[in-house]
Amino acid sequence: MVAVLLPVIAIELGLMIWGLWDLTRPQRVVRGLPKAVWAVIIIFIGLFGPIVYLLFGREDA
């Protein structure tokens, strides 16, 4: 069971770190919601929060 959960946990943490790092960059412009709300979504919606942010929340400069 641990062999199945460990990669999922690692992917989730990696996506969360990547999303939060990207969100906190000073030059990053976000779409739709303030950065604080995106941070809450990334942290509390588990695996899907960072994916939603990376796909829909970032605005190309």
Domain range spanning residue 54? Answer: 2-59
Percent of the residues in the chain that have a pLDDT greater than 70, as a whole number: 98
Beta bridge partners of 30: 58
Q: 61: pLDDT confidence band, cut at 50, 70 and 90?
A: low
Q: How many domains are there within the chain?
A: 1
3-class DSSP state for residue 24?
helix
With a cut of 70, say whether residue 47 has pLDDT above it: yes
Contacts of 36 (CB under 8 A, 6+ apart): none
φ and ψ at 58, to 5 degrees?
A: -85, 140
pTM of the predicted structure, to 2 decimals = 0.85
